[in-house]
A and B are shown apart, each in its own frame.
Chain A
Amino acid sequence: MLHILQKTFKGGIHPPENKDISAAKPIERLPLPGYVVIPLQQHIGKLSEALVQAGDDVVTGQPVSKASGFVSLPSHSSISGKVKSIESFPHPLGQKVPSVIIEGDGEDRMSEQIKFQADYMSLPPDEMKRRITEAGIAGMGGATFPTHVKLSPPQDKPIDTVILNGAECEPYLTADHRLMIEHTEEIVEGFRIILRILGVSRGIIAIEKNKPDAIFLFEKFTKDDPNLELLPLKVKYPQGAEKQLIFASTGRRVPAGKLPMEVRCLVHNVGTAKAIYEAVAYQKPLIERVVTVTGAVKEPKNIRARIGTPLRNLIEFCGGFVGTPGKVIMGGPMMGVAQYTIDVPVIKGTSGVVVLPSEQVREMRLQPCINCGRCVKVCPMNIMPNLAATYIENNLWEEAKSAGALDCMECGSCGYVCPAGRNILHNIRFGKFMILEQEKASKN
C-alpha cells in the first residue's frame, strides 16, 4: 500500500545513475552515413517483405519493405541513394536478419509525401492510425512492439487511461530526457493524438523526479489541459517497466501473463509519442531517432541518428573509445544487449549505446547461491529468482515454471544485487526458453 502512495512499486534497485555524463549535452545531428543497413525486422512480430531490389534508386523516407500482417511493420530508407543488396546482416538483437543495404548519394532527397499539415488534429482517428501504421512506428523505449497494434485494442477491452512513459530508469541513458526538454511540445501533441485515436480522456505523463527540468517543461505545456496529468515518480529502477509504471500511476495490477489493456491502461514511450506526432502531422516515417552514446567514449553525446547507421559511425562521432572497450551495449546497462561487432545498425528501438571499459567487464563464473535473499527482495515481479535459477540449473523446468520464471520481465535487478556474482537472469532467460520449447513439444 505504501508503494502506491510513494508513486512507485515494491522491490527494485538503485544502481549508480551515471546520467550526468550526457544529460547536459544537447541533441546533435549525426552526419549522413555513407551507407545504411535497414533490417527487415526491427519490431516484435512478422518479418516485413522487401519492396526493393539491388540497384533500385531510393529516396529518404521511401518504404523499402511492407508489413506482412497486422503485427508487422514496414521499414523505410533513411537516406537517399541506391540499394546495394538485400542480405543477411548482423542485427543488434543477435542473429543475422535479412537487411536492405543502401549506399547513400549524400543528397538526402526527401520523399515528396513528407510535408506539414496544419490541421492534423482534425483528421479522423482512422486516418491518424493509418499514417502511424504507414510510418512503421515501433515502441521506441526498446521493446519495439508495433505501435498501431497497441492503438487498436479489441472491442471488449476498453482503455480509460494512457500513460506516457518518461521514466527513463535505465542508468546512463539520457535520450528520452533530452527529447523531453528539447521537443516537449511535439511529445505532448503526439500524446494528444494517441488519446484522440483511442477516445480516452485521461492521460498521465510519468517522469522520474531526477529530471526536474523535463517535469517543469511538461507542467508548462500541459497545465491548461484538463485531460493531462503530470506525475513525478520516485527514482528507482525499473520504474519505467510497463507493469510497475501502471501500478505506480494508477494502483492497478496487470494480471500475470496479461497485457496492460486488462486493466484498461496503455503505455507509450515519449520517443514514440514524438514519432507519432511526426507521422500524423508530417506523414514522416520513422527514419531517425535519438541515441545516447556514453560510457567509455571520448565525448559522450546524445545523437539524432538515421535508422540503419552503423554503431561505428556513432562511436567515431563521439571521438572513439577511451582505453580498451570491454563491452558495447545497445540499450542501457541493465537490459541492453552486448554486441560483438560495432557494424550493427541503429534500429527503431536503439535508445543508447553504452561502452563499458574492459576493467568493468566481469568474467562469467559458476558461483553457488548463498541464499541471501537479496534477489527476492528486489524482484519487482515478486518471483524468487534464486529458486527459479537453481531449478533451471538443474533442468527442473516444471518447478521453474511454478516458481514464476515465465513472469520474469528480465529487468536484471536480481543479477545486479547478487553478492555471489551469479548470472541469475541468464539462467532464467534460458529457463523461459526451455519451458516454452517443452510446452511446444508437448503440444505437438
Chain B
Amino acid sequence: MDEEPKTDSEPKLTVSSSPHIYTTESIPKIMYSVVAALMPAFIGALYFFGWRALWLTAIAVLVSIVTEAIIQKFRKVDITVTDGSVIVTGILLAFNLPAGVPWWIPAVGAFFAVAIGKHAFGGLGFNPMNPALLGRAFLMASWPVHMTTDWTNPHGGTLSGLAAITGSTPLAVVKDAMKDISDGVNVEGAQSVLESTRDLYFPLFWGRVGGCIGETSVLLLLIGAIYLFYKRYIPYQIPVAYIGSVIIIAWIFGGEGYFSGDWIFHVLAGGLILGAFFMATDMVTSPSSPKGQWIFGLGCGVITMVIRLVGGYPEGVSYSILLMNLLTPLLDRYTRPKVFGA
C-alpha cells in the first residue's frame, strides 16, 4: 500500500521465470564422465603402445587446453577450459593418431581442432563438426605419410594381426586383397587373406592388433560406452544405427559375392567402435531428435562402408562422421517429432 523504502529486515527476493529448481547435471559432469569413459581405452593404449601413447595424448590435451585459454582470453570471454570439453577433444584427437607419429603432429592437430574446429565457429555449442575429427582430417591432408605409415606394433601383437603381413593395418590388408581379386592378380593369395580375417576376431576384440592409439581394444572401449549408457549421456539410436548399417552393408557387399561379407571383422577392425560410441555421439554435432539420430547413425554407416569398400582410403569412420555432422542442423529441422495432439 505504501511505497516507503523497505527496511533491512525485508528480504531481497529474486524474480525469474519458472522453473525454479534444476537438475544437478551439468556440462562439466557430462564432459568429465566422457573423459572417465575413455580411461579404460587409454590405459589399454599405455599397455599396447607404451609411454609413447601417454606422451602423445598429453601433448594433444595440453595444446588443446592452452589454445582454448589463449583464444578465450583474446576474445575477452570466460575461460572455460575447466568444463572438460576441450580435454575430451584433446584425448579423442590423440586416440585417432598412429602411435609412431612425431610429437608435433598431435600439437598441430590439437591447435587446429580447437582454434579452427571449435573457436572459429564460436566455441562450445556452435561448432558444426567434431573438432577432434576435423583436426585429424587436417593432419591427414597435410602429412599423409606420417598419418598412414607411422604405425607401431602393439604389445603382444602385430600391426596387421597376420603373421605373414607387416606394415599395414587389417583394413588396409583387406582392401588390398579385395583390389587384387577384382584386378585378377594374386587371386589365391588374396582369397586366403580374406579367409584369415576370421582368425582376427579375438585379437581385434582384445586390442592386440595395430591401429590408432585409442581404437585398438573393442573390449575396453565398450566398458566406457556402457558407463556412458548407464549415465544416459549418449543416445542408443546413433551407435545402433551406425553399427547396424555397417553390419548389413558389410554382410551384403563386403565379400567376394553378395551376402558373404565378413561383417564381424568390419565391426571389430578400425575405428568403428571408437567412432560410433564416442565421436558420432558428440552432442553438439549430432541431432537431438530421435528420428534424426537414427538417420545420422545410418548415414555414418553407409558412408563408412562406401569408403571402406570402394573409396580411396582403407578406413572411413572419421570422414563419415564429419560429413554427417554437416547434415545435423538439417536433420534436426526436418525430423522434428510430431507435437502431442497434432
Q: Which A residues contact B (CB, under 8 angstroms)?
A: 10, 15-16, 87, 89, 101, 171, 243, 247, 253-258, 321, 324-329, 333-343, 354, 356, 358, 360-362, 364, 368-374, 376-377, 380-384, 386-387, 403-404, 407, 410, 412-413, 415-421, 423, 425-426, 429
Within 8 A of A (CB), among B178-236: 235
Q: Which residue of chain A has its CB nearest to the CB of B288? A: A373
A257 to B288, CA, bound (A): 25
Q: Which B residues contact A (CB, under 8 angstroms)?
A: 1, 11, 13-23, 25-27, 29-30, 122-126, 235, 283-290, 293, 328, 332-333, 336-342
- With A333-B21, A362-B22, A370-B283 in contact, do A407 and B340 touch (Cβ < 8 Å)? yes
Is A336's CB under 8 angstroms from B13's CB? no
A369 to B287, CA, bound (A): 12
Give chain A residues whose Cβ lies under 8 Å from the Cβ of B126.
Answer: 368
Give chain A residues whose Cβ lies under 8 Å from the Cβ of B26.
Answer: 419-421
Is A372's CB under 8 angstroms from B30's CB? yes
Contact of A370 among B11, B13, B18, B27 (CB under 8 A): B27
- With A376-B289, A421-B22 in contact, do A327 and B341 touch (Cβ < 8 Å)? no
Is B20's CB under 8 angstroms from A334's CB? yes
Give chain A residues whose Cβ lies under 8 Å from the Cβ of B328.
Answer: 371
Contact of B19 among A358, A364, A415 (CB under 8 A): A415
Is A371's CB under 8 angstroms from B339's CB? no
Is B339's CB under 8 angstroms from A383's CB? yes
Is B283's CB under 8 angstroms from A382's CB? no
Give chain B residues whose Cβ lies under 8 Å from the Cβ of A404.
Answer: 336, 339, 342
A321 to B11, CA, bound (A): 9
Is A326's CB under 8 angstroms from B14's CB? yes
18 A-B pairs within 8 Å (CB atoms) are namely A89-B1, A327-B15, A327-B16, A333-B18, A358-B14, A368-B125, A371-B285, A372-B283, A373-B235, A373-B287, A373-B293, A382-B338, A384-B336, A387-B288, A407-B342, A415-B18, A415-B22, A421-B22
Is B340's CB under 8 angstroms from A339's CB? no
Give chain A residues whose Cβ lies under 8 Å from the Cβ of B27.
Answer: 370, 419-420
- With A253-B341, A372-B283, A384-B289 in contact, do A417 and B25 touch (Cβ < 8 Å)? yes
Is B23's CB under 8 angstroms from A254's CB? no
A256 to B30, CA, bound (A): 34
User: Main SS of the interface on chain A?
Assistant: loop
Give chain A residues whose Cβ lies under 8 Å from the Cβ of B14.
Answer: 326-327, 338, 358, 361
A417 to B25, CA, bound (A): 8
**B118 vs chain A, min Cβ distance (A):** 12
Q: A373-B287, A387-B288, A420-B27 are in contact. List 6 more A-B contacts (CB 8 A).
A: A253-B341, A329-B18, A335-B18, A342-B13, A404-B342, A415-B17
**A406 vs chain B, min Cβ distance (A):** 9
A356 to B11, CA, bound (A): 12
- With A243-B341, A256-B341 in contact, do A423 and B30 touch (Cβ < 8 Å)? no
Is B125's CB under 8 angstroms from A171's CB? no
A132 to B27, CA, bound (A): 51
**B236 vs chain A, min Cβ distance (A):** 12
Give chain A residues whose Cβ lies under 8 Å from the Cβ of B284.
Answer: 370-371
